[in-house]
Amino acid sequence: MTQDTAEQSALPLTVLAEDETILRDSIREFANAQVRPLVREMDEHAKFPRTLIDKLFDLGVMGIEIPEAYGGSGGRFFHSVLAVEELSRVDPSVGVLVDVQNTLVINALLRWGNDDVKQRYLPKLASATVGAYALSEAGSGSDAFALTTRAREDGDAFVLSGRKLWITNGNEADLFIVFATVNPDAGYRGITAFLVERGFAGFTVGKKEDKLGIRASSTCELILEDCRVPRANVLGEIGKGYKVAIETLNEGRIGIGAQMVGLAKGALQHAIAYTKERKQFGKSIGEFQAVQHQLARAAVDVEAATLSVYNAARLREAGRPFLTEAAICKILSSEVAERVASLAVNLFGGNGFVKEYPVEKLYRDAKIGQIYEGTSNLQLQTIAKQLLS
Ligand SMILES: Cc1cc2nc3c(=O)[nH]c(=O)nc-3n(C[C@H](O)[C@H](O)[C@H](O)COP(=O)(O)OP(=O)(O)OC[C@H]3O[C@@H](n4cnc5c(N)ncnc54)[C@H](O)[C@@H]3O)c2cc1C
């Protein structure tokens, strides 16, 4: 551990180091200036403009942990967490685009990629290429390792056949980490991670889902029909894809925690501003003690969720065990996001129910936190396993 990290870990959880403060402030400014004006349109059209994605690359948030030698920002995991939180305050769809790119795709390449893979793909991911992470299938969600996408060895390549479902960034991505089995009889020990480029023959992006929330974030089916993937594009070892999946998702979960904390903070901020302005019975509704207590409860929730996300992130960064804390932070922050967004809708009254105001969208967006990267039941299972071990 470097001196710097040792000093940082001695700081209170919510006190940010100077580099963290600079990063957070610059992303906050970007989110307010560049993302906020587009939120409603992106939600309605269920699409990101490519110009926004290009600006995210220019800002450096699409390659946070990629070393500078590969053209990345040379940052740390906690920087990724802060970036996802800040973007999600304004739009959790943008938050998850950046989250998948950093905490799943780049994370997996940094950890499991050999020099050749890193040299071929990291500069692209840092500059223009969006990544996606394809594990789920129609028959394998929570039971992810029941996947059936098949990879058959053929000379210096593998031939992939199958379908993936629910793949975030499917519409925008040019690089996909696809999990397939080289040997269905071997169970999870057959699972292998492959790097599939959009242009590979036999690979197509299928149907895009029409969703309740995070609508601008694309969620797509992927179709692999005898898709030939060079052996050099195996990520990690053959038959060790389950480790790639488990370990990246354990970390990715903290990113989803950050997305949900950002969402909750955004909703609370809107609620505070509105209750100061809206007048009923001759005074602003924020002057009623009942409303004040509701806002205070929301602040308690947000503080607890923030602490749990920052704690899990700092533990991960310090190289300490964080599995249970990551599960706790995801379940807590996703429940808090739903509660706080719901309160914001209530406090906006009728205006909370219409699209002209920002909180109904946050309420819809909050729901996904309890579903993807392991449902809440699966998080509870992880926590209970540790309690009873
Ligand atoms: C918007 C969106 C984006 C997504 N992005 C991606 C992505 O980028 N990449 C990817 O690979 N996947 C992605 N997913 C898939 C997501 O991770 C799965 O939907 C999720 O893991 C749940 O799987 P499932 O939908 O099959 O539900 P199921 O596994 O069928 O679960 C249904 C219900 O049963 C419960 N359940 C299941 N098993 C148990 C158990 N053992 N004990 C108790 N309860 C249980 C669950 O908690 C849930 O409530 C995304 C999904 C959505 C909706």
Nearest CA to ligand 1 atom 32: 142
**pLDDT value, residue 11:** 78
> Which of 102, 107, 136 to probe ligand 1 with, by most ligand atoms within 8 A of CB?
136
DSSP string, 189-205: GGEEEEEEETTSTTEEE
Which helix or strand (DSSP H or E) is residue 283 part of?
A: strand 283-284
How far away, in angstroms, is 141 Cα from ligand 1 center?
Answer: 4
Please state, in angstroms and rounded to a whole number, the distance separating the CA atoms of residues 366 and 362: 6
Query: Alpha carbon of 66 to those of 60, 62, 119, 273, 371: distances in Å?
Result: 10, 9, 11, 38, 28
**pLDDT value, residue 1:** 44
User: 219-230 and 157-168: which strand pairing?
Assistant: antiparallel
First and final CA of the chain: distance in angstroms? 29
**pLDDT value, residue 8:** 53
Residues lining ligand 1, judged by CB closer than 6 Å? 100, 133-136, 141-142, 166-168, 211, 219, 368, 371-373, 375, 377-378
How far away, in angstroms, is 292 Cα from ligand 1 center?
Answer: 37
Q: Give every CB contact of residue 364 below 8 A, 6+ residues apart in sequence.
A: 212, 213, 215
Q: Give every CB contact of residue 342 below 8 A, 6+ residues apart in sequence.
A: 363, 366
User: 234-235 and 279-280: which strand pairing?
Assistant: unpaired
How far away, in angstroms, is 6 Cα from ligand 1 center?
Answer: 37
* 373 tagged catalytic: yes
Both tokens of residue 16?
């940010």
**Under-50 pLDDT residues of the chain:** 1
> Which of 148, 166, 380 to probe ligand 1 with, by most ligand atoms within 8 A of CB?
166
Region of 76 (left: φ > 0; alpha: ψ -120 to 50; beta: rest) is: beta
Q: For the whole prediction, is pTM greater than 0.95?
A: yes
> Which of 210, 372, 373 to probe ligand 1 with, by most ligand atoms within 8 A of CB?
372
Q: Give every CB contact of residue 127 below 8 A, 6+ residues apart in sequence.
A: 57, 63, 71
Task: Evaluate whether 333 touches 369 at the Cβ level (below 8 Å).
Answer: yes
Among residues 58, 86, 183, 196, the alpha carbon closest in space to that of 131 is found at: 196
DSSP string, 331-366: HHHHHHHHHHHHHHHHHTGGGGGSTTSSHHHHHHHH
**pLDDT value, residue 5:** 54
How far away, in angstroms, is 165 Cα from ligand 1 center?
Answer: 11
